[in-house]
Structure 1
Amino acid sequence: MAPASASPQGIKREPPPGSPLAEEDVPAKRQATETSRVGTQTISFPWKTCDNVKDVDRLRIKEYAVKVAQKHCAKLKKELSFSIFEGQADAVVLGQRMLEQWIKEDDDIRKTHENFQILVGVQGPTGAGKSSFLGSLLLQHEMLPSGQDGAATAAVAKVSWNYDDTPGHQFRARVTFRPIEEIFGNLKALLQSIKRVMVLEKTVVTTVEDIEERENDIAIAEETINYELPGVKAVWKLSRQDLEMILRNKTEEESYFDIVRAILKSNQTVLGFLRGNILDYKTTSRLKLGRAVRPFLDSTPYRLQDGGQFAVWPLVEDVHIYVKSDILKSGMTLVDLPGCSDSVARRAEVTKAFAHQLDVRLVVSPIARASDEEKSQELMQSGFDEAQMKLSGKDDGRGFGIIMTMTDSINVDTYLRSTPTLKFDSRVKANLDKLNKLRAEETGLKLEIENTKLEMSKARAQKAEGMEAYIDMMEKRESQIDDERKASDELLAKLKNESLNLKSSFEEAQKYLEQLEARGNEIQREEADAKNWLHNASVQVRNWIVKRKIQEKYSAQRSKIPGADSSKPPPPVPIFGVSTNAYWNLMRDAPIAGFATLESTGYPAVKKWLLEATMSKREKHLDAVLGRYQKLMNLMRIYSKESNENEDSGLTRSSFEEVLEKTRRKFTTTIGLEISRAGAKIQLLNPLKNRDETVKTFGFEAVRIATRWGRKFPNKKGNSTKIACNTYKAIVKRHGRTYPSKTKGCPKITYNWLEDLDWDKDMNKELLKIKVPIMEAFKKVWADYLKELEQVISMELPALEESFSGILTMVSNAEYVCESNVLQLLEGLSKETSSVGFDLVDYLEEELAQTFDGALRISGGGAHVRRCDHIVQKFKRSGEDLCHPVLDRLTNKLEAKKKKIPGKLISIAQSAVEDAKQQISFFINNLIENYETDEASQARKLELQASIRAHVAEWEQGWQQREGQGDELPVVTSDTPVVVGETKIEVDDEETEETDGVVEDFGTVDQIMGGYLDEDESD
C-alpha cells in the first residue's frame, strides 16, 4: 500500500539543496523487508557497561575503545575520501555533503581528543628540584633545565603527549612569545619610573613629611624598576646607567615611544621573535630539543651566527613541549613553573599567576626543609587553600599534593644516633651489632688473608729456589762421574720431594685463601645488606616523621573549614618522598644505598596518585568522545544499510523531511525549555551560602590581622618587633598591596597585607547533584520525541515504519552524549565559581582604599601610632560592614557566570535534536536517493556500502572486545599506564639539615617501614 503522502508511481526524487544534479524519474519502491531494516537491537559494548568495574580498569577499557574507534574511523575516512573524489558526478546518490560532514566531525573529535589537557603543575622554592622531578616522571632525563647555579626555569614549560608521528618530529616544541604591545608597555613604564626617580632625587625638600613623601614615591618607582630592569638588561644589555644616559640625552622632540622603538629595533632577532609570536622546533633527539629550547626556558643565552648572544626568557609567554612519554598518554600536561622564591620578581609573578589554572597542583620542597622552610610552607598553605576552593566541598585528596625531594640526601650515622624511633629499635640495634661484628671479623680476615698471601709468597720463592737448584744440578750431572752422579741423584730426589711438599702447601694455602676471600665477599654482601637496611630504615623513618609534621599542620587547618565534618578526622594531604638520584641510578642498574627498588624511590606511588587524581576529568572527556564516536558509527550503519533491490517508497527527500519537520521544530523548543527549567536550581545555588558565618569570622579575624600589621613580622606570632614607620606608610600608600622592605643589614621582608585578609571559602556540594533532574527532564522529553517521530511515521509513512524503527534505536544514543556534555558543563561551572575567589584581593583593595588614604593623610607628631590605630579602628567599627560589599561583588560575579548556563543547556539539548536530524538525513539518502537509472553510480555506491558494512562490523567487534583480546590493535594499548617496576641497591652518605630532634617515639621501625602507621592515609 502506498504511503498517503506520496503518489504511487513516478514521483520525482529531489536532490538536496544546491545539488548540481537534475531530477530524474525513477520507479517506485515497495515496503521495506526484514533484510532492509537497520539493526534494531542495541549492541552492548564494554565501555558502556563497565560502571561497576574498578576505576583504573574502567578507564583502560574506555581508553582502548577510543583507540579502536580512531583506527576504524581512519579506515572509513580513507574510504569515504576516495569515493567522494571518484564520485563527484554522483553527489546526490553518494550523499557527498553528508559524507564530508562525517569526515569533518571525525577530524573534530580527533582534534578535541588530542587538545584535551589536564594541567598538572609543580611549584616550589628555587632549587627544590622541580624540573628534575618532572623529568623523572617523563622518563626524559635533563630534558627540562635544572641548572646547578642560580635559578633554572625562568618561563612556564608545559609538556604534553606528542601526537605527531611524522618522521623527524619525535620531539617537538612551540615557543610562544609575549605580545609585542605588552613588551612595549613594560619598556615605557621602566623608562618613566627611572625618569621619576631621577627627578625626585634632584628635588630639594626640607620638612620631615616631605622627605618621607619623596622616599615613598622613590620606593614605588624603584619597585617597577626592579621588576622590569633584569629582563631589559638580559635581552638588550642595557644597564640602569645606560637607560639614565638615554633619558638625559633625550631631546624635547623625542617621546618615550621613540626611545622604546629604538630599543626594540636595536636587536632585529628579538623583534623578529616578537612579531612572529611563535617559534616551532622539531627534532629526533631529546638532547637536541633540550638544547634548542633551553635559552627560552632559563638564563642560558641565545647564540647568534655572528657570535653574539643575549637572554630570551623575559620575552617568553610559555614553551610547550611535545614528547611520547607514557604518563602523558592519558591527557596529562605537566607544567614546570619558575621558582616562587626566585630573585627575579617577574619569574615569581609568572608562577603565581599561572598556578590558578592548574587542575592538580604539586608543591615540591627538599625534605630537609619541607616541614620548616618558610617559602615551602607558604606555598603548601596557598596550594591547600586553593585546592579546597576547587574541590567544591569534596574533600577527596585530589587536586593538591606535596612532594618531598632529595630523600637520599641523609647522613645515616647521625640520623641513627639522633632519632629515638631508630636509636632504640631492636632491629636497628641488631643490624648495628651485626655490622660491628662483621667489621671486626673483616679486620681479622684481612690480616689472615695478608698472612696467607705472605706464606704463599714464601712458598713460591722457595719453590723457585728449589727449581733453580734442580736445574743447576741437572746441568752438572752430564759431566759428573758415577759416584758424583749417584750423590746428585740423591740430592735431586730430595729437591723433588721438597718441591712436591711446597706445591702441596701452596695449593692448601691457595685453597685457604679462596675460602678467606669467599668469606670476605660474603661479609661484604652481609655488610651491604645491613647498611642498605639501615639506610632504608633511616630514609623511611625520616620521610614518615617529616610527613607527620606536615600532616598535623594541615589536619588542624582542614578542621577550621566552615562546614567541615568534625565527627571524624579529616583525610590527609597526599605527601610523597622521592629521590631523583636513586631513581635514575636504578634505571641505569647502578642502585645506591637504601634504594633497592623503584618503589623505594617514591616515583611509582606519585605516578599512581596522579593517574587517580586526574581520572575523573579524563573519564568524563572519554565518555563524551565515545558518545560522539558511537554517533559516527550509527551514521555509517544507516548509510550502508543493505536495501532490498525492489524496495521503493516513492518519496522525495523534501516530502519526507516535511513530514518530520513539524515534530522536530516542536521538540527543539520543548527539549530546550524543559532541560533549562530542570537546571533552574543552579540559580539558587550559592557557594557563599554560609554568609553570616563568613562575615562574623572575617570581622573577628580582620581586627586581629590588622593589629599585627604594626609588627615587622606580622605572620610570626612570637615576634613583637615593631614595623618601621616609613615601611608602614609605604604599605599604606600602596593600599596594602605587596611591598618588599629592604632594610640595610636585614634580609628582605615582603608584606602582603591584603592577601592575609582572607577567609575560608565553602564551595557548595550540590552543583553536580543537579545533573539528576536535568537528565531526567531530558530523558522524558527525548522519549516523547522518539515516540512522536514513530507515530508520525506510522500515520503518514506506514511503508517506512519497520525500517525507521531501527533508526530510532540508534538515535537514543544521544542521551549518553547529552549526559556527558551536561556533566562537563556543570563541572566547568564548579571550577569557574571557585576561581571567583581569586579576585578577592582586588575587591578588598577597592573597599579599603578610603581607609588607607585617610591613614596616609594623618601627619604631625605621633602620626605612625595614629595611622595604625585609624586602620585597626576601621575594622573594629565596621569589619563586618566591610565584608558585605566584598561578598556582594563576589556574588554578582558568580551570578553572571550562572546566568550563562541555561543557554548552554538549551544548546546541548538542541544539539541532540540536530544529531537525530543528521541520522535521519543519512537514512533518507540510503532509502530514497539511490538512483537506479544510473547503473554505474548505483554500482559504485553499493560497493562503497559493502565496504563500509565490513568496516563497521570490524569496529563493532573491536568494541565488544577488551584490551588484549583477539587481534584488535595488537600493538597499541590503552593510554592508561600500569605503574610497576623493581630493581636492586648503594651511595655516599650526605649531610642533611633534617637531623630530626623529635623526642617522642613515633612507633617502631617495622610499623613505619611496613606502612602500618599509614593505613589511614591515602596514596
Structure 2
Amino acid sequence: MAPLSASPQGIKREPPPGSPLPEQDTPVKRQATEASRVGTQTPSFPWKTCGNAEGVERLRIKEYAVKVAQKHCAKLKKELSFSIFEGQADAVVLGQRMLEQWMREDDDLRRTHENFQILVGVQGPTGAGKSSFLGSLLQHREMLPSGQDGAATATVGKVSWNHDNTPGREFRARITFRPIEDIAQSLEVLLKSIKRSVVLEETVVTEVEDIEEKENDIAIAEETIGYELPGVKAVWGLSRERLEETLSARTEDESYSDIVQTILNSNKIVLSFLRDRVLCYETVNRFRLRRAVRPFLDSTPYLHNDGSQFAVWPLVQDVHMYVKSDILKSGMTLVDLPGCSDSVARRAEVTKAFAHQLDVRLVVSPIARASDEEKSQELMQSGFDEAQMKLSGKDDGRGFGIIMTMTDAINVDNYLRFTPSLKYDPKVIANLDKLKKLQGEETDVKLRIEDTNLAMRNAQAQKAEAMDDYMTIMEQRDSQKVDERKASDELLEKLRNESINSKLYFEEAQSSLKQLEARVAEIFRERADVKGQLHHASVQVRNFIVKKKIQEKYTEQRSKVPGADTSSPPPPVPIFGVSTNAYWNLIRDAPLQGFATLESTGYPAVKKWLLEATMSKREKHLDAILGRYQKLMNLMRIYSKESSENEESGLTRSSFEAVLEKTHRKFTTTIGMEISLAGAKIQLLNPLKNRDETVKAFGSEAVRIATRWTRKFPNKRNNNTKIACSTYKAIVKRHGRTYASKTKNCPKITYNWLEELGTPMLQLMGKDWDRDMNKELLKIKDPIMEAFKKIWVNYVEELEQVISTELPALEDTFGGILTMVSNAEHVCESQVRQVLEWLSKETSSVGFDLVDYLEEELEQTFDGAFAIAGTGAHARRCDHIVQKFKRSGEDLCHPVLNRLAENLEAKKKRIPGKLRRIAQSAVEDVQQQISFFINNLIENYETDEVSQAKKLELQANIRAHVAEWEKGWKQREGQAEELLGSTSDIPVVVGEAKSEEDDEETEETDGLVGDFGTVDQIMGGFFG
C-alpha cells in the first residue's frame, strides 16, 4: 500500500478551544511499554470454551456469565454517569459521546435480554385444566383463572420472569386492549347484522323467490350476531332487544357510526381503557396481582371502582404478567389460551390465531378423554397444523407435546377388575390377596378387641364388686364379735385375692388390647401401602395405555401423509400424564393415595422436557448476548488502559481516522461481498422443485375434498350426514374461511375449507421444505463463517500494515488493540445464525400464505356460488363449486404455487443485504474500538489538568471494575456466588413450593381398559 502523505512527525494534536498553538512540530518516537500493553490481551472464559460440556451445564455457565456482565455493566454505568453529569471534566477529554453510546448499548442489551421470550402455550378443550396446569408449573396456584362454571380464561394470558427488583414492583402486569377502531367496527357489524335480520324477518314470504334462501340469509346474519353480541352484552349490558329498539328509533341523519359512538361514550371506563390502550399494574404479592388482573382475564363480570359491573374480556388483546417463578428464569413465557371448544366464538378464535406463534405448543386434555375426545383429537391430529409444524421445523419432538391431566381421577377397583394388564399380573394378584388377608385379619383383630374390652369391663366390675363387699365388711368390723371377726378376716382375705386377680387379669387384658390396637394400626398402614401400590399401578398403567393409543393414532396418521417416509416410524410425540390435585397435596404434605412422590404427579418430567425443548433457542440467545457484552468489556479495557509516560505524539483524531478510513471502506465492501457469495447457496434452495407432483396430486384430491364439503362431517369418511344449507352458504360467504357452526344439543363444529384444501399441498411440500428451509439452510452458516474468518484475517493484517507503514511509532500499542477484534467472529456468527433463522421462520408461514392465495384464486367461484338464488339454490351452489375443481383443479394449483415461489424468492433476495449489513456492523465495531483507543491515546490535554485528573480517576475505577468482571467470567457458577447474591437462571426440575390455600380443581373421569403388557413392563418393576 502506498504511503499516505501524513506521517507521525507531521500530524498535530487538536488542542482544546482557546489553547495556544505549539511553536513547532516535535518528532516523537513512540515506544511500546509494559503499561501500553495492559488490558489488551483477551483472556479465555468458560462461557466461550464450554462447548464439550453437557447441555444444562453449558446453560448454567452462560446464564451465570450474563449475570456477571449485567452486574459489572451496572457498576460501570454508574461510574460513567457520575463522571459525565457530575464530574465537570472536559467532554472531549472524557470521550463523553463514546461513553454515552456505550451506556445506550448496555441499555439496549439489557432490554434485549429481558424481552427475550420462548413462548410455551397450552391449547385444549374448555375445562381440561389448562390454567391449573400452568399454575402448577409456575408454583403459583390459581395465578391464571381456572373455571368451575364455564370457560374462565377469556383472553390470552402470558406470564414471564420479572426482571424488575424495585421494591413494590415484585409482581407486575401489562394489560393491552384492542384498538378502539377494531371495537367500533365490531359494533357496527353487529348493528348491521341485527338490522338485516329484522328486515328479513319482516319480509313477506311472497317477495322472496325461495323461502329456503331467506332462511339461509337469516341464519348467516344470526351467526354474526351470535359472534359479536356476547361481547357487547358483557361490556355494555345491551341486549338484542335494546339494540333493536335503538335501530328502530334511528333517524335518517343518524348513521351506524353515530350509534357506535353513543355506545362507546356510555361507559367512560371502557372509553378510557380503549383510548389508553395499555394499563400497567404493580404490587408486592401474587394475591393482589391475581385479584387485579382477574377482571381482564376472566369471563365473569366484576365490580369496578365506580360501582358499575361489567366484563372486560371482549376489550382485551392480552394480559402479560411478570412474576418470579423458577420455570420462567430461562426465558420461557407461559401462555394460557381460551378453550378451543369455548361457547363464545371470539374466544375460540383467539386461541387459533395465537397458537401458531408458539415456540412450544402443548395440547391439554383430561386423560379419560385424551384419546377419544373430539376437540383434543382435532388439535392433536389436525392435518393442516401438523403440516405447518413440519414446515416450521417444529416437528422434531421439541415443538409439540401432549399433556394428559387429572390422572388421579380413576376408579381403581373397576380398573383393576377390567384391565387385563392388571387383572392377571402376579404381583397385583399377590397384593390383592394380601389386601384380603389384611381385611380378614382386621376383622378378626377387631373381634378380639371387643372380647378384650368386654373382659376388661368384667374384671373392672368384679373388682368394684369385691371392693364394695370389702368396704361393707370393714364398716361392720367394729361391732363384730371375735368369732365373727375371724370369719370376716377370712372373707376379707378372699376378697383381697379376688381383687388382685381381677387387677392382674385387667392389666393382662389391657396389655393385650394395646398389642391388638397396635396391630390394627399396622394393618391400616400395610393396607394403605398396598392400596397405594395398587393405585399407583393403576394410574401408571392407564397413563401407558392412553399414551400408547395416542401414539398409535399419531403414527397411523403420519404414515398416510403423502410422501411420508415409511421405512422407519416417525419420532414419538412427547406425552405426559399429570395430576394437579396430587401435586398440590404433596406440596401441603397431604399426599393422595398412589402419589407418594413429586415424580408420580408427572410435573418434574414435564419441566425437564420443557427445559430440553427450549434449550437450543435459549443458548443461541445467550451466545449472542455474551458476544455483545464482550464487546462492551473490550471498549472499557481500551478506554481505561494505562498510558506510559512516553505516549506523546502530534496526532489528532481526524488524522488518525483518515489513515485507516480507506481500509475500513474497502473491507466493508469486501467482507459483505465475500460472505454474500458464500451464502449464494441460499438462492439455490428450492423446496418447490417437485411442484409437478404436487399439482397432479392436488387436481384429484381437490375434487374429493370439495365434494365432501356438502357433508356435515367432511373429514369422517363413514358419515354422510348432509350439511345444513344455511351453514354451507355461510361458509361460502366467508370464502371458505373458519366458520363455527353450533346447533341445539350438538357440539360446535368448526369448518375451514381452505385449510382442508391446502393440507394435501402442504403435506406434499413438507418433506422438501423442512429439508431445504430448516436443515440445509442453517448448514450454510458454516461456509459463510469460513469466508468471514478468512477475509477478517486479511482485514486485521492490512490494518496492522497501514499502521506499520504510516504510523510506525504506534505499531506495538495498536497491535495490542487488534488482538481484541477477534471477538467479531463470535458476534458475527450469532448474527449470521439469526439471519438464517429469520429466513427459516419467515418462509415457514407458507401454510397461511397458501390459504390466502387459495382464497384469492377462489374468490370469484365463492362469490358466484353465493349469488345463486331460487329453487334448488343449495344443490346448484354445491355443484358450482365442485365443477370448478373438476374443470380446473390443476390450473388453480399453478398460480398458487407460483405466488408461493415468488414470495420465497423475495425473502431469499433480502439475505445478501442482511449479510452486507453484518459485515458493515463488524467493521463499525472495529472503528468504535479504535475510537476509544484514539481517546485514550490522543485526547488528553495537558493544559486541562482538572479534566486530566478526572479522567485518570475514572480510568482507574474502570480498570478495577473490568478486573472484577474478568475475574467473575473466569469463575463458574458456585465458585463465586457471593458476586451475584442469586442462583442460576436454569430452572430446578424437582423442588418444593409454598402451599397455597386455594380450592382445587376436581373432575370425575372414567377408567380405561385394555391389554398392553405386564405391569412390570409398563412400570419398570415397580412391585419388585
Q: Same fold per TM (> 0.5)?
A: yes
Cα offset, 1:41, TM superposition:
3.9
1:474-506 Cα shifts (integer Å, max 9, x gaps): 455456565555444444433332222222212
Cα offset, 1:6, TM superposition:
4.3
2-structure distance, mates of 1:845, 1:917 = 51
**Is residue 736–residue 754 contact of structure 2 (8 Å, CA) maintained in 1?**
yes
2-structure distance, mates of 1:953, 1:3 = 38
Cα offset, 1:680, TM superposition:
2.6
Corresponding position of 1:918:
928
In the alignment, structure 1 residue 112 sits paired with structure 2 residue 112: yes
Pair 146,745 (structure 1): closer, same or farther in 2 beyond 3 Å: closer
Q: What SS does structure 2 have at the residue aligned with 1:976?
A: coil
1:817-836 equivalent positions in 2, closer than 5 A:
817-836=827-846
Cα offset, 1:38, TM superposition:
4.3
Corresponding position of 2:1008:
996
In the alignment, structure 1 residue 780 sits paired with structure 2 residue 793: no
Corresponding position of 1:1016:
none
Corresponding position of 1:294:
294
Pair 718,563 (structure 1): closer, same or farther in 2 beyond 3 Å: closer
2-structure distance, mates of 1:547, 1:50 = 37
2-structure distance, mates of 1:3, 1:496 = 131
In the alignment, structure 1 residue 935 sits paired with structure 2 residue 945: yes
**Is residue 171–residue 322 contact of structure 1 (8 Å, CA) maintained in 2?**
yes
Q: What SS does structure 2 have at the residue aligned with 1:321?
A: strand
Kindly provide the amino acid, as one letter, of the partner of residue 600 in structure 1. S
2-structure distance, mates of 1:740, 1:160 = 32
Range moving further from structure 2, 710-719 or 821-830: 710-719
Kindly provide the amino acid, as one letter, of the partner of residue 822 in structure 2. S
2-structure distance, mates of 1:989, 1:49 = 48
Kindly provide the amino acid, as one letter, of the partner of residue 454 in structure 2. L
Pair 469,954 (structure 1): closer, same or farther in 2 beyond 3 Å: farther
Kindly provide the amino acid, as one letter, of the partner of residue 955 in structure 1. W
Kindly provide the amino acid, as one letter, of the partner of residue 795 in structure 1. T
Cα offset, 1:702, TM superposition:
1.6
Corresponding position of 1:176:
176
In the alignment, structure 1 residue 190 sits paired with structure 2 residue 194: no
Cα offset, 1:119, TM superposition:
0.7
Q: What SS does structure 1 have at the residue aligned with 2:546?
A: helix
The aligned length equals: 1002
Pair 751,209 (structure 1): closer, same or farther in 2 beyond 3 Å: farther
Corresponding position of 2:904:
894
1:356-385 Cα shifts (integer Å, max 9, x gaps): 211111111111111111111111123983
1:564-643 equivalent positions in 2, closer than 5 A:
564-643=564-643
Range moving further from structure 2, 908-917 or 727-736: 727-736
1:230-283 Cα shifts (integer Å, max 9, x gaps): 000011110000000000111112111211111111111111111111111111
Corresponding position of 2:988:
978
Corresponding position of 2:542:
542
**Is residue 178–residue 315 contact of structure 1 (8 Å, CA) maintained in 2?**
yes
Corresponding position of 1:668:
668
Corresponding position of 1:1015:
none
Cα offset, 1:43, TM superposition:
1.4
Q: What SS does structure 2 have at the residue aligned with 1:364?
A: strand
Cα offset, 1:320, TM superposition:
0.5
Kindly provide the amino acid, as one letter, of the partner of residue 961 in structure 2. H
Pair 723,384 (structure 1): closer, same or farther in 2 beyond 3 Å: closer
1:68-115 Cα shifts (integer Å, max 9, x gaps): 111111121122222223333322222222122111111111111001
Counterpart among 802, 814, 818 of residue 812 in structure 2? 802
**Is residue 599–residue 982 contact of structure 1 (8 Å, CA) maintained in 2?**
no
Q: What SS does structure 2 have at the residue aligned with 1:154?
A: coil
* TM-score normalised to structure 2 length: 0.93
**Is residue 628–residue 827 contact of structure 2 (8 Å, CA) maintained in 1?**
yes
* TM-score normalised to structure 1 length: 0.94
Corresponding position of 1:261:
261
Pair 635,387 (structure 1): closer, same or farther in 2 beyond 3 Å: farther
Pair 317,860 (structure 1): closer, same or farther in 2 beyond 3 Å: closer
Pair 741,630 (structure 1): closer, same or farther in 2 beyond 3 Å: closer
Pair 940,996 (structure 1): closer, same or farther in 2 beyond 3 Å: same
**Is residue 410–residue 989 contact of structure 1 (8 Å, CA) maintained in 2?**
no
Range moving further from structure 2, 156-165 or 98-107: 98-107
**Is residue 390–residue 831 contact of structure 1 (8 Å, CA) maintained in 2?**
no
1:447-458 equivalent positions in 2, closer than 5 A:
447-458=447-458
Pair 101,740 (structure 1): closer, same or farther in 2 beyond 3 Å: closer
2-structure distance, mates of 1:212, 1:814 = 71
Range moving further from structure 2, 536-545 or 924-933: 924-933
Corresponding position of 1:1017:
none
Pair 977,301 (structure 1): closer, same or farther in 2 beyond 3 Å: same
2-structure distance, mates of 1:91, 1:166 = 32
Corresponding position of 1:908:
918
Pair 380,632 (structure 1): closer, same or farther in 2 beyond 3 Å: same
1:635-654 equivalent positions in 2, closer than 5 A:
635-654=635-654
Pair 7,702 (structure 1): closer, same or farther in 2 beyond 3 Å: closer
1-structure distance, mates of 2:400, 2:468 = 82
Kindly provide the amino acid, as one letter, of the partner of residue 427 in structure 1. K
State the identity as a percent: 78
**Is residue 132–residue 1001 contact of structure 2 (8 Å, CA) maintained in 1?**
no
Pair 778,82 (structure 1): closer, same or farther in 2 beyond 3 Å: same
**Is residue 735–residue 859 contact of structure 2 (8 Å, CA) maintained in 1?**
yes
**Is residue 3–residue 798 contact of structure 1 (8 Å, CA) maintained in 2?**
no
2-structure distance, mates of 1:154, 1:252 = 38
Cα offset, 1:131, TM superposition:
0.4
Cα offset, 1:933, TM superposition:
3.6
2-structure distance, mates of 1:755, 1:3 = 66
Structure 1 residues without counterparts, runs of 5 or longer: 1013-1019
Range moving further from structure 2, 766-775 or 721-730: 721-730
In the alignment, structure 1 residue 685 sits paired with structure 2 residue 685: yes
Corresponding position of 2:521:
521
2-structure distance, mates of 1:21, 1:225 = 78
Structure 2 residues without counterparts, runs of 5 or longer: 994-999
**Is residue 21–residue 92 contact of structure 1 (8 Å, CA) maintained in 2?**
no
1-structure distance, mates of 2:724, 2:599 = 52
Pair 432,23 (structure 1): closer, same or farther in 2 beyond 3 Å: farther
Cα offset, 1:742, TM superposition:
5.2
Corresponding position of 1:946:
956
Kindly provide the amino acid, as one letter, of the partner of residue 623 in structure 1. D
Corresponding position of 1:1010:
1020
2-structure distance, mates of 1:815, 1:353 = 39
2-structure distance, mates of 1:871, 1:7 = 82
Cα offset, 1:666, TM superposition:
1.2
**Is residue 356–residue 835 contact of structure 1 (8 Å, CA) maintained in 2?**
no
Range moving further from structure 2, 27-36 or 80-89: 27-36
**Is residue 123–residue 351 contact of structure 1 (8 Å, CA) maintained in 2?**
yes
Corresponding position of 2:996:
none
Cα offset, 1:579, TM superposition:
0.4
Corresponding position of 1:849:
859
Pair 655,468 (structure 1): closer, same or farther in 2 beyond 3 Å: farther
1:703-742 equivalent positions in 2, closer than 5 A:
703-741=703-741
Q: What SS does structure 1 have at the residue aligned with 2:158?
A: strand
**Is residue 411–residue 990 contact of structure 1 (8 Å, CA) maintained in 2?**
no
2-structure distance, mates of 1:23, 1:168 = 56
**Is residue 326–residue 988 contact of structure 2 (8 Å, CA) maintained in 1?**
no
2-structure distance, mates of 1:730, 1:383 = 23
Kindly provide the amino acid, as one letter, of the partner of residue 887 in structure 1. L
Corresponding position of 1:969:
979
Q: What SS does structure 2 have at the residue aligned with 1:852?
A: helix
Pair 156,729 (structure 1): closer, same or farther in 2 beyond 3 Å: closer
RMSD of Structure 2 on Structure 1 (CA): 2.7
Cα offset, 1:754, TM superposition:
2.2
Corresponding position of 2:342:
342
**Is residue 771–residue 823 contact of structure 1 (8 Å, CA) maintained in 2?**
yes
Q: What SS does structure 1 have at the residue aligned with 2:413?
A: helix
Pair 106,729 (structure 1): closer, same or farther in 2 beyond 3 Å: closer
Corresponding position of 1:220:
220
1:853-905 Cα shifts (integer Å, max 9, x gaps): 45456667766555444433432333222111122222222233223222222
Range moving further from structure 2, 535-544 or 874-883: 874-883
**Is residue 66–residue 626 contact of structure 1 (8 Å, CA) maintained in 2?**
yes
Corresponding position of 2:325:
325
1:429-468 equivalent positions in 2, closer than 5 A:
429-468=429-468
**Is residue 367–residue 546 contact of structure 1 (8 Å, CA) maintained in 2?**
yes
